[in-house]
Amino acid sequence: MTGDSTRSVHESESDDKETGSLVPPIYETATFKFAKASEVQPAITGERGYVYSRWDNPTVERLEKKIAAFEHGDGAAAFASGMAAISTSIFTFLRKGDHVLAIRDLYGGAHSLLRDLLPRFGFETTLVETTDLDALARGVRKNTRVVYVESPTNPTIKLVDISKAAEIAHAAGALLLIDNTFATPINQNPLTMGADVVLHSATKFLNGHADLIAGLAVGNKETVKSIKMMRREFGGILDPLPAWLVLRGIKTMALRVARQNANALALAKFLVAHKSVAKVNYPGLESHPQHQLAKRQMKGFGGMLSFEVQGSVNDALKVTESLRVAALAASLGGVETLVSQPFNMTHTQMTPEDRAKSDIPDTLIRVSVGIEDAEDLISDFNQTLSTIRP
């Protein structure tokens, strides 16, 4: 299977041999019984069988196989949230005194994890300018074990040259971990460009319906095995029911993402031309400073964009409050269009100084573009932006 829509529907959807059910069952169980004591040890080591759903579960494993195939990985680990996937994966590869190198433009939760939490446990961290590969190379130390990036970034929609970032990390003996949530596996596959671990908030585009919280980490067999062992200890595995719901959501992922790509480009082009908009961040625009890089490493430009209102913070607040089709809400990647202002919602963990360094002004609005008709979205943004007097 090579087509995205075909794979969305059929990848890892094996037949239920017992009943013939077209839809796979949900194994909503805490534990598993054994007929013989000799079956226990192979299940504990992960060779075959299941012991306890904090370790592994058939429904969760089905999701892991599906996303691993989409991201060209050998395995995956599912988590109760995107942040559980990020934090557990980072901790997996660190020992006391190790150094983590990351870009500055990150989701607020990841930023605070790196800036505040890791140093409390004896890890050193450095954040460098996102688009400056020379700064990334200079930031490497002898004890660097993890290089952590997003591409596109949240909420500034900057890109990291994934292949070159991987070269920098590997030259230092470090692993490259990348959050691929904004891009989705439909638009970008970082493992094929040298990344070691691909992370997703499956809450977002993978599920697509804003009705659950989940996370995923994808990599090669040995890397994922290490992450899963850490997951056992931290206890952040995904429950079978939301795993089943993500599986259901992925069946329409290719269709949804294609529509979101098209809608985001149409909305971005409209916003660029509007007098009440000072700046638009979207890699599908030729004016985006990394448009050529986007064309090189992405198959589609994604459903996320951000723009700065030409006016005051109150003007920006008015815009988000006056939309009729789009909703003011946290999260992203669903079928409905959502807007938020990072300074008072998604990036409150960052200080005003840190947000300024990351090009996140208070007038910035992040847009998660849904699958509505593009004409209705443009009309909605036009009616609210037209009330602003630059």
Domains and CATH numbers, the chain: 4-250 (3.40.640.10), 254-385 (3.90.1150.10)
The rounded distance, in Å, linking the Cα atoms of 359 and 283 is 16
> Is the confidence at residue 75, as pLDDT, over 90?
yes
> Is the confidence at residue 16, as pLDDT, over 80?
no
DSSP 3-state of 66 = helix
Which of 4-18, 153-167, 304-318 is the least confident region? 4-18
179 flagged as catalytic:
yes
Residue type, 52: Y
> Is the confidence at residue 345, as pLDDT, over 80?
no
> Is the confidence at residue 390, as pLDDT, over 70?
no
pTM of the model: 0.95
- What does DSSP assign to residue 115? I
282 flagged as catalytic:
no
Question: What's the rounded mean pLDDT across residues 360-378?
Answer: 96
The pLDDT score that the predictor gives to residue 389 is 77
204 flagged as catalytic:
yes
Of 376 and 22, the structure prediction assigns the larger pLDDT to 376
Question: What's the rounded mean pLDDT across residues 310-324?
Answer: 94
∠ CA 37-43-47, nearest 5°, is 125
Average pLDDT, the chain: 94
Of 46 and 384, the structure prediction assigns the larger pLDDT to 384
Query: 122, exposed or middle or buried, with CB in 10 Å at 0-12, 13-18, 19+?
Result: exposed
Length of the chain: 390
50 flagged as catalytic:
no
pLDDT in tens, 286-311: 999 999 999 999 999 999 999 999 99
pLDDT band at 44; cut points 50, 70, 90: confident
The pLDDT score that the predictor gives to residue 167 is 98
Choose, from 56, 98, 179, 239, the residue flagged as catalytic.
Answer: 179
pLDDT in tens, 202-256: 999 999 999 999 999 999 999 999 999 999 999 999 999 999 999 999 999 999 9
Choose, from 145, 158, 204, 256, the residue flagged as catalytic.
Answer: 204
> Is the confidence at residue 346, as pLDDT, over 80?
no
Choose, from 27, 107, 148, 282, the residue flagged as catalytic.
Answer: 107
Q: What is the largest CA-CA distance in the chain?
A: 76
pLDDT band at 1; cut points 50, 70, 90: low
